[in-house]
Amino acid sequence: METEWLNWSRRLAALAQTGLSFTRDPFDRERYEEMAGIAAHMLARLADLPVEQVAGLMAPEPGYATPKVDVRGAIVVEDRILLVQEKSDGRWSLPGGYADVGLSASENVVKEIREEAGLEVRVDRLYAVRHKAKGPYDPDLRDFYKLFFLCEPVAGADVRAGFEVADARFFPPGDLPPLSTARVAVRDIEAAFASREGGPAGVLFD
């Protein structure tokens, strides 16, 4: 779970971004710019990063500030689940990543699995929608909704690691490798097995 200070700082940055997008008053603009600077300094202190780096990550976008979307696909074959090894930390995750503009959530996850594991799949169902800030994930300066889909291979289950990842393999639930907890938690993998077995009913959400 993320700290209250991180949540407040990120919320302050979002309010500043929204205000800068819609205000027409030059004095309000100055106030929102100052608010954005304060939020960047708070986040930099919390993350122990240079304020310039944080400001780059939190660069204002036009319009109302909204969470980013992360999509992940779970493929279970013979009681083993597909995981990919991230190059950034050497740990393992369900294949996926940022959702691209112009594609639906399911189209995004199909694309990510093809690119990271060389596997063609069809999306069976959405099994969980998680708010990253409220889950057992690494703290993040940005705000995310995480969408988890259960998928099925359509042309065999022979995987090959794409250039974005270091490896791609199937693992039994009782012998998982070290997970990249910035991206996935044990509960997300357990929920995939439970969904495939027919329970719990409905979509898990925060």
DSSP letter (8 states) at residue 106? H
Across 103-131, average pLDDT: 96
Taking the CA atoms of 40, 46, 50 and 54 in sequence, report the sign of the dihedral they define: negative
pLDDT in tens, 139-149: 888 889 999 99
Q: In order of start, what are the domains of the chain with their CATH numbers?
A: 4-57 (no CATH), 68-205 (3.90.79.10)
Other beta carbons within 10 Å of 119:
25
How many Å apart are CA 80 and CA 94, to the nearest integer?
A: 12
Provide the pLDDT confidence category of residue 194 given band limits of 50, 70 and 90: very high
What per-residue string of b and e applies to 148-157 under the rule 16 or more CB within 10 Å gives b?
bbbbebeeeb
pLDDT in tens, 44-79: 888 887 887 777 666 656 678 889 999 999 999 999
User: Quick one: pLDDT at residue 60?
Assistant: 59
On whether the CB atoms of residues 122 and 75 are closer than 8 A, the answer is: no
> What mean pLDDT comes out for the span 165-190?
97
Residue 170 in contact with residue 80, Cβ under 8 Å?
yes
The residues facing 146 across adjacent strands are: 70, 130
Instruction: Name the token pair of 46.
Output: 């919390």
What's residue 1's pLDDT?
Answer: 47
* Pairing between β-strand 165-171 and β-strand 68-77 as defined by DSSP bridges: unpaired
